[in-house]
Amino acid sequence: MTEKVCRNCRRIVEGKVCPVCKESSFSDDWRGYVVILNPEGSKIAEELNVKTPGRYALRVR
């Protein structure tokens, strides 16, 4: 199964519904990703507005 990215929160997902925001609008056109392990202590998570650990795309079209 191809990984897709949620257009709303940029979470990389494999299912039909995003586990973070519960949306179902996905994109196949994305570039780069970052793994957030501890969003509370991460400046990158703060910049990306990420509150839940996981893999997130850096650029989504």
Whether 2 shows a pLDDT value over 90: the answer reads no
Q: Is 48 annotated as a binding residue?
A: no
Instruction: Supply the mean pLDDT for the chain.
Output: 94
| pLDDT at position 1 | 56
Prediction pTM value: 0.89
Across 9-33, average pLDDT: 95
Across 11-37, average pLDDT: 95
Q: Is 6 annotated as a binding residue?
A: yes
3-class SS at 36? Answer: strand
Number of domain units in the chain: 1
Across 8-25, average pLDDT: 95
Q: Which domain holds residue 54?
A: 4-60
Q: Would you mind telling me the total number of residues written for the chain in this entry? A: 61
Q: Is 49 annotated as a binding residue?
A: no
Q: Is 18 annotated as a binding residue?
A: yes
**Could you give the CA distance from residue 10 to residue 5 in angstroms, rounded to a whole number?**
5
CATH number, domain containing residue 23: 2.20.28.90
- Give me the helices (H) in 1-61, please: 43-48
